[in-house]
Amino acid sequence: MYKRDNLNTIFENYIVFRELNPLRKELPSFSELKKQLKFDFLPRKKDPEYAKVLSFLFKKIGDFEKVIYFGDTYLNDGNVIKNLTELDEYEVSGVITEEREQDYIKFKGNIIINTKWRNLLPILEILERRGFLLDEKTIVVIDIDKTFIGARGRNNKAIDKARMDAITSIIKDALGGIEEDRFDYVYSRLNRRSLHSFTGDNQDIVAIMSILFYGDYYALGRFIREFYAGKWREPLEFFNTITISPNEKAYKLLEEVKENLLKKNPTAFPTFREREFSCTLKRMDFLPDISDVRKLLNEEILITKEVYDVGLIAKKKGALVFGLSDKPELSSIPKGRKKSPAIYLKQAKIFPK
């Protein structure tokens, strides 16, 4: 039998989502703190301002001297670590983990690149031997998606499938059916780093574009050629060229995204994010414990035991554990859907046993 728990056993509401509004009501909302920090946009992990927001919140919580950050991507999480370090307000260490075949631990400055989740506790011991101790002066920051749950390189496909479930269900509603192979091809062409300058690595944009190209409202090949030729720089400009009959369900979806982009709403496609929320819940603790391990890892979103254990150890030593998610609140909190638990309160299996 697998043990089970929810995320909040570790985080105790010390969580922020994409909007950077802490769940803890005693902490300032983003609209409050951005006035004090004097910037007027919502930063993402790559931005130095994101680290400034975190530091501001850490100071509101307590008097901390050290930050250790656990994530799964060198680009995004690595940027947060670098930017926190450059603030020169804390002693900072970071651990970036993606499960790979080759087992190694490599130091790149104050960032440890790790290829096995099982190495996390030995890494803590290495840091302690180097004088980086977990104690009441330490904040342990843990990325949620593909680190605390859906461990990258081991269980991340389950998180990706929840997202795909959401998009495909919207396509079925809007267009009456779906050819899975054709959709997979469209999505894979759009969800690429080479298009990040256009999509902003934002799944709201990737989702609506997948729907538009799958529905043949614009030719995918034509868009790709035009993008690389420099014609398209930002989504709203492109979306304004697409004509859909107001009688079609896809029209309402596109107008929703266009309206939110005009308003600079950080969640451009709420319909998709609400569907992603329900699809994510459905992929948590739904398979029998006797399921084949490969099926479990590919289909069900699991708590990463090695990260969970880091959280338990940190709390036992007096450190505060703080969770980050790149997902918007609509994908994580049941706003208006009272029968559903928030993602961080949903029971999940802890893997491995």
Domain count, the chain: 2
Strands 138-143 and 105-108: unpaired
Rounded Cα–Cα distance for residues 344 and 308 (Å): 13
State which of 231, 262, 277 marks the end of a domain: 277
C-alpha dist (Å) from residue 310 to 15, 155, 226, 325: 17, 18, 47, 18
Strands 15-16 and 303-304: unpaired
Instruction: Assess if residue 141 is contained within a domain.
Output: yes
Rounded Cα–Cα distance for residues 341 and 150 (Å): 18
- Structure-token match 């030995």, residue found: 122
- Three-class DSSP category at 140: strand
Q: How far, rounded to the nearest angstrom, does the alpha carbon of residue 117 sit from its chain's CA centroid?
A: 18
**Whether residue 186 is found in the same domain as residue 314:** no
- Per the rule left: phi > 0, alpha: psi between -120 and 50, beta: everything else, 313 is alpha
In the sheet that holds 303-304, the strands lie side by side as 4-5, 348-351, 303-304
**Whether residue 148 is found in the same domain as residue 160:** no
**Whether residue 129 is found in the same domain as residue 205:** no
**Whether residue 26 is found in the same domain as residue 132:** yes
Instruction: Assess if residue 228 is contained within a domain.
Output: yes
Rounded Cα–Cα distance for residues 316 and 75 (Å): 31
Instruction: Assess if residue 214 is contained within a domain.
Output: yes
Rounded Cα–Cα distance for residues 312 and 11 (Å): 10
| pTM of the entire predicted model | 0.96
Packing angle of the helix pair 180-190, 156-175 (nearest 10 deg): 120
Tell whether omega for the bond before 270 is within 30 degrees of 0, i.e. cis.
no
Instruction: Assess if residue 289 is contained within a domain.
Output: no
**Whether residue 200 is found in the same domain as residue 252:** yes
Rounded Cα–Cα distance for residues 208 and 316 (Å): 44
CB 148 within 8 A of CB 346: no
**Whether residue 35 is found in the same domain as residue 141:** yes
State which of 213, 242, 277 marks the end of a domain: 277
Q: What is the pLDDT of residue 219?
A: 98
Rounded Cα–Cα distance for residues 168 and 166 (Å): 6
Residue 82: domain span: 4-154+302-351
- pLDDT means per 10 residues, the chain with 353 residues, are 98 98 98 93 96 98 98 97 98 99 97 99 97 98 99 98 98 95 97 95 97 98 98 97 96 98 95 97 98 99 99 98 97 83 98 98
**Whether residue 29 is found in the same domain as residue 137:** yes
Rounded Cα–Cα distance for residues 166 and 69 (Å): 30
C-alpha R_g of the chain? 21
Q: What is the pLDDT of residue 186?
A: 98
CB 328 within 8 A of CB 266: yes
Instruction: Assess if residue 295 is contained within a domain.
Output: no
**Whether residue 160 is found in the same domain as residue 131:** no
Nearest to 16 by CA among 26, 29, 6: 29
- Count of C-beta atoms within a 10 Å radius of residue 119: 18
**Whether residue 248 is found in the same domain as residue 318:** no
- Structure-token match 């069900």, residue found: 300
Instruction: Assess if residue 88 is contained within a domain.
Output: yes
Strands 66-71 and 91-97: parallel
C-alpha dist (Å) from residue 303 to 67, 97, 136, 272, 296: 22, 15, 25, 24, 12
Q: What is the pLDDT of residue 143?
A: 99
**Whether residue 164 is found in the same domain as residue 122:** no
Instruction: Assess if residue 294 is contained within a domain.
Output: no
**Whether residue 228 is found in the same domain as residue 317:** no
CB 272 within 8 A of CB 205: no
**Whether residue 178 is found in the same domain as residue 50:** no
